[in-house]
Structure 1
Amino acid sequence: MTKKKLRSQDWYGRTGKDGFIYRSWMKNQGLPHHLFEGEKPVIGICNTWSELTPCNAHFKELAESLKKGIWEAGGFPLEFPVMSLGECSIKPTAMLFRNLMSMDVEESIRGNPLDGVVLMCGCDKTTPSLVMGAASVDIPSIVLSGGPMLVGRFKGKKIGTSDIWRFAEDFKMGRLSQEEFIEAEAAMSRSVGHCAPMGTASTMAAMVESLGLSLPDNATIPAADSRRKVLAHMTGIRIVEMVKEDIKMSSILTRKAFENSIMVNAAVGGSTNFILHLTAIAKRIGVELDLTDFDYFSSKIPLIANVQPSGEHWVEDLFYAGGLPAVMREIEKHLHRDALTVNGKTIGENISNAECWDRNLIGTLENPIKPDSGIAVLKGNLCPNGAVLKPSAATPELLTHTGRAVVFENIDEYKAMVDDPDLDIDETCIMVMKNVGPKGYPGMPEVGNMGLPKKVLEKGFKDMIRISDGRMSGTGFGTVVLHVSPESAIGGPLAFVQNGDMIALDVPNRSLNLLISEEEFANRRKDFIPTKLPYERGYVNLFLDKVNQAHEGVDFDFLQGSSGSEVKRDSH
């Protein structure tokens, strides 16, 4: 049997001047010649370490564990940086730059002498960016997540990112001082890692594990736990084996894998951002996936993991209870057990021996944590291309409701008006925010879970229906309708909502409608003036020109479909 030539040998295996140039400068790092002779697969470590991305700030150390595994398995590790997106710092929103980061990843992999790659990701957008970019190149790839931070402690209670929204309400109502707020900051973020609840970061880690792109337990081992380093070591070993076995991303990312991931997301009560990212990944690899799939496959699965914001506990606790394999085993009769994963085994084989150690953390199909989970996809005259809501994080009594619209034309108007005593609003109203979609903001920020007006909080109410074309943090909760498509900035129906209009939300029947006549709709559409967007240069201009709408994954149209690993190189 003829041994397959390594991709890296198109660089390092050359003779004459070209080979000299490709190898010589690499040798200034003290690398001996035998590393370039084609026996050792070159493994790229795509590292999103950055001090501006605190969720990923421990990745230098984690990469060292990876390298040990790669060396042990006979590989040749080469670490390289790519753009990193820190959710808590970057303006105007990390989502604006997800596609840019994915382009960085794609071209960094394609343009360099790599036989396989380990994708090191943690903070929300780093995971989909790396997977999207790598999927577009399609060489052997495996994901290593950074892990959740340890649960915080404040005033004798466990706290995590979901508590920010509760603290904000207490601060607004005078129940929490600024000094206590500052104390809670340090108490919450007490270790390395990403957010402690099932926010978008942990949802993305669960996504890659359920897709089969990582080793088992990748989703839940805490960042500070030494077992995360062991996982990194084993991931390093496995990527070398994957290169030898020629297991590419296209072998893993099948239609069955995407269906599995949707069902697992429902079981853990994952972030609504999951929809945008999984859709974008599917379109990169060439798998058909649309909003109806999220509703259909979610509808079979109740909430199994009792983790915030849909449940009560934390991802750290979920790991101790059995982790994602134990959750997946509870729903295995619905899963495609024959889906291949990066360790060469099927999903069914990976979860066959998984056990639950705490039924307070992991429910069953017969006795779930909550009956409703997953993603509800709404259609109607207000969202002809769809909108989404997470039932497990909503107030059941509000899932069927008709109310009067209180409209905010943009985020600045909301901030200026929401606590105005003269604002005509009560708990029965429906808050509507426009111009926070992919183009309107731009970048589709996480502002959909608008804080409630002070006058409503003073009456003791904790939730109202909120509707926008924006997103919500995976750590957020409430009866929040998101991703209304098409967005208001380009003339979607949301743009025509006016104060006083009646809106009907009917989640059981998956509908969202503005209760005005077709004639009135037509009149308002005729008077619509598109939002003027003051961006005329650089990446943002490209984003506005090429970005798709929410129901298509907010990706660039020219990036859809894998283009393969080869690139034409001029000789030196």
Structure 2
Amino acid sequence: MRLRSARWLGGDDEVALSHRVALRLTEADRDRPVIGIADTSSALNPCNASLAELVADVEQGIRDGGGVPARFPVMSLGEDLMKPSAMLYRNLVAMELEETIRANPLDGVVFLANCDKSVPAALLAAASADVASLLLIGGSRAAPLFEGKPLGAGTDLWRALDERRSGAMNDRRWEHLERSLRCAGPGACNTMGTASSMAVVTELLGMSVPGSSGVPTGSPQLRRIAHQTGALVVRQALDGRTPTQRMTQAAWDNAVRALAAIGGSTNAVIHLAAVAGRTGLYGDLMRMDRLWRDVPLLVDVEPCGAQLVAAFAAAGGVPALARALGALLDGDAVAGDGRSWARLAAEAPEVSAVIRGPHDPVSAAPTLAAVFGTLAPDGAVIKVAAASPALLRHRGRAVVFDDYDTMRVRLDDEAAGITADDVIIIRGCGPRGTPGMPEWGMAPIPKRLLGQGVRDMLRVSDGRMSGTSFGTVVLHVAPESAAGGALGRVRDGDLIDFDLARRRLDVLVDPAELASRPVPPPAASVHLRGWPRLYRDHVQQAPQGADLDFLTAPTPASRRFVEPTVGRS
């Protein structure tokens, strides 16, 4: 098979010569696949900081497989520091990756990724560029002890925040918590947050080495996976195997079902929709809800379970999960190493205390659900496994917030008179609203109510919440407020009716009156030039994956990756 890089490197004219010199190719290298290593390591992103340590192993795997490695830097998307959210930049990094591949003599790519948005950015780029590629996920961080208990990243912080706001955690314990969290080191959150959820999704899409999800950062096992990933991409390049040959409808459906089985992040719902949009697959919320309905929670990992994600990896990881799911998965779909999931499941460990079977689940189906109604005509999402059963059928008075800062102040204002039966509405934080769809959906419980023992309330938002979060929170309401959605017309005191069994979310206001109410304009942005301006003008709604409208593919045939003209620059 003629390699893509041959268009740059083949021949004896001055152009080909200069290209070979630029890559420092020897005579022995001239006919070998050139494999890019997309490096997202950064000191600004602790989840991805240790990826740089894996580059040498990936390079050696590429060389041992018969290829030529070529590392290149990529913008890193870290959840901890980026404001208003790393989600604002997911599509930008996907474009950066796609264009770097298009413009350079790369026959394949190993995408180094770990933090929440770096993984889906790589998946979107892989789908659009469609050259041989796999993701190398950087692993989960260690779990330091706090008061004798291993700390679950994110999840235990939210619990501690409730304690602190209620007065049960003093300043000394709060400072001790901070010191403990600093001891965790690099790596992704060690709970089933967005990073771990996306690692599982990536495996089932056939875009990473099977068994790699949840492996501890810095472990010898991860180094072996890094080497294997490099060698596999060389083989894919030589065999002409591309991501969209593996990211099929069956693989996508498997990933959606697995997300439910692990009690995964609602953020992954948006990313899966975006993958479907890039590949021309069917990926609407109604399809997702149908796939979720009979999938129970099988993985006992926080925030919906009790263990940490390293226990999931030790119990056999995704191959063991595939075995546990059995007929709920399509075994003909192909993993990243070319084996079918049926074969991987047959060779995987049997069910355990961490990865249960469907007849002994952690909790019953559904663990995720999509709801529709007058408040969410195009849909919304809830993580049922993390919600309070008593709130899954609830009617309450709306308490509306249009910005985050006002919400944090007014929630604790006793004069506001907020009760446990009220429904907290946080709007203006959808894809266009901030812009960037920050994780503001899980509003804190008011201090006064925390002091009374209240730990959950129904919350409704057009924004997102962290995958490490928990509570009865309906998210990604579409259309969002900033796009003229009904959520923008809700007023304090309106009755909100939520009925999970019927998959309904409604505002009990006369339709004519609701339609007559003005929608508040989007909040003025302090930074609306360059990328944020392009993003706000072209971003789609959450059910379409919050991708840019000019990057999606209605059908596979309409997805075109145009090769550049290769000549003198």
The match for 1:69 among 46, 55, 61 is: 61
| CA distance in structure 1 between the partners assigned to 2:520 and 2:185 by the alignment | 49
Question: How far apart, CA to CA, are the structure 2 residues paired with 1:338 and 1:164?
Answer: 40
- Aligned match of 1:158: 150
Gap regions ≥5 residues in structure 2: 554-558
Query: Which residue does 1:446 correspond to in 2?
Result: 439
1:530 matches 2:517? no
In structure 2, give the amino acid aligned to 1:280. A
What is aligned with 1:382? 375
Inter-CA distance 16–391: structure 2 relative to 1 (3 Å threshold): same
Instruction: Compute the displacement of 1:341 (Å).
Output: 2.2
Residues 134-189 of structure 1 show CA distances to partners (whole Å, capped at 9, x for unaligned) of: 21110111111001112221000121121111111122223223343233234235
Counterparts of 1:179 and 1:282, CA distance in 2? 48
Classify the secondary structure of the residue corresponding to 2:397: strand
Q: Residue in 2 aligned with 1:278?
A: 272
Residue from 127, 133, 147 that aligns with 2:139: 147
Match of 2:318 in 1: 324
State whether residues 263 and 301 of structure 1, in contact with CA within 8 Å, keep that contact through their aligned partners in structure 2: yes
3-state SS of 1:165 partner: helix
Q: Secondary structure at the match of 2:72?
A: strand
Superposed CA offset, 1:485-540 (max 9, x none):
0011122000111111111100111000001111221221xx33432544542111
Question: For 1:335-393, what per-residue CA distance to the aligned partner results, in whole angstroms no more than 9, with x for missing partners?
Answer: 1100122211111112211114732x121111101003442100000000001101000
Provide the rounded CA distance (Å) in 2 between the counterparts of 1:16 and 1:259. Answer: 49
Aligned equivalent of 2:234: 240
What one-letter code is carried by the residue in structure 1 that aligns with 2:465? M
> CA, structure 1 residues 224+26, in 2 after alignment: closer, same or farther (shift >3 Å)?
closer
* Structure-2 residue corresponding to 1:60: 52
Aligned to 1:308: 302
TM-score computed with the length of structure 2 as normaliser: 0.96
TM-fit CA distance, 1:571: 2.8
* 1:252 counterpart (241, 246, 250): 246
* Aligned twin of 1:469: 462
Match of 2:16 among 3, 16, 19: 19
Gaps in structure 1 of 5+ consecutive residues: none
1:507 to 500, 525, 529: 500
CA distance in 1, matches of 2:562, 2:194: 29
Task: Give percent identity, aligned residues only.
Answer: 39
Mapped contact 1:138–1:565 kept (Cα < 8 A): no
SS of the counterpart of 2:424?
A: strand
| 2:170 equivalent to 1:173 | no
Instruction: Determine helix, strand or coil for the equivalent of 1:563.
Output: coil
Opposite residue 102 of structure 2, the aligned amino acid is R
Query: Could you say if the C-alpha distance between residues 179 and 567 of structure 1 is closer, same or farther in structure 2, counting changes exceeding 3 Å?
Result: farther
- Structure 1 residues 380 and 314, CA gap change in structure 2 (3 angstroms): same
One-letter amino acid of the counterpart of residue 491, structure 1? G
Matches of 2:278 and 2:512, distance apart in 1: 40
Residue 107 in structure 1 maps to residue 99 in structure 2: yes
For residues 132 and 522 of structure 2, what CA distance do their matches in structure 1 show? 43
User: Among residues 397, 421, 424, which one is paired with 1:428 in the alignment?
Assistant: 421
Partner Cα separation in structure 2 for residue 249 and residue 567 of structure 1? 20
Aligned to 1:43: 35
Task: Report the secondary structure of 1:386's partner residue.
Answer: strand
Contact 2:319–2:341 (8 Å) recurs in 1 = no
Q: Deviations over 1:284-339 (max 9, x none)?
A: 12212111111111112100000111111110111122212111211121111001
In structure 2, the partner of 1:491 is 484
Structure 2 match to 1:7: 4
Q: Which deviates more from structure 2 when the two are superposed, residues 185-194 or residues 469-478?
A: 185-194
AA aligned to 1:543 is Y
SS of the equivalent of 1:425 reads coil
Q: Which residue of 2 aligns with 1:404?
A: 397
CA gap of 1:548–1:460, structure 2 versus 1, over 3 A, is same
User: Quick check: 1:571 aligned with 2:531?
Assistant: no
Q: Give 3-state SS (helix, strand or coil) of 1:148's partner.
A: coil
Residue 55 of structure 1 aligns to a residue in which SS? coil
Deviation at 1:281, TM superposition (A): 1.1
In the other structure, the counterpart of 1:338 is: 332
In the alignment, the residues of structure 2 paired with residue 250 and residue 528 of structure 1 have an alpha-carbon distance, to the nearest angstrom, of 41
Write out the 4+ residue segments of structure 1 that deviate beyond 4 Å after TM superposition: none
TM-score (norm 1): 0.96
How far apart, in 2, do the equivalents of 1:565 and 1:149 lie? 39
- Which residue in the other structure is 1:369 paired with? 362
Question: Is the contact between residue 124 and residue 200 of structure 1 (CA under 8 Å) also seen in structure 2?
Answer: yes
1:415-457 alpha-carbon deviations (Å, 9 max, x no partner): 2211112111111111111111111111000010111000110
Moved more, 224-233 or 123-132: 224-233
Aligned CA RMSD, in angstroms, stands at 1.4
**Equivalent position of 1:557 in the other structure:** 549
Q: Contact 1:263 / 1:374 at 8 angstroms: preserved in 2?
A: no
Q: Distance in 1 between matches of 2:421 and 2:351?
A: 42
Counterpart residue type for residue 560 of structure 2: S
Is the contact between residue 151 and residue 316 of structure 1 (CA under 8 Å) also seen in structure 2? no
Question: Which whole-Å CA distance do the structure 2 matches of 1:518 and 1:565 have between them?
Answer: 48
Aligned match of 1:119: 111
- The secondary structure found in structure 2 opposite 1:54 is coil
List per-residue Cα deviations over 1:243-296 (Å, max 9, x = no partner).
122110110011001000001111101100011101111111221211111111
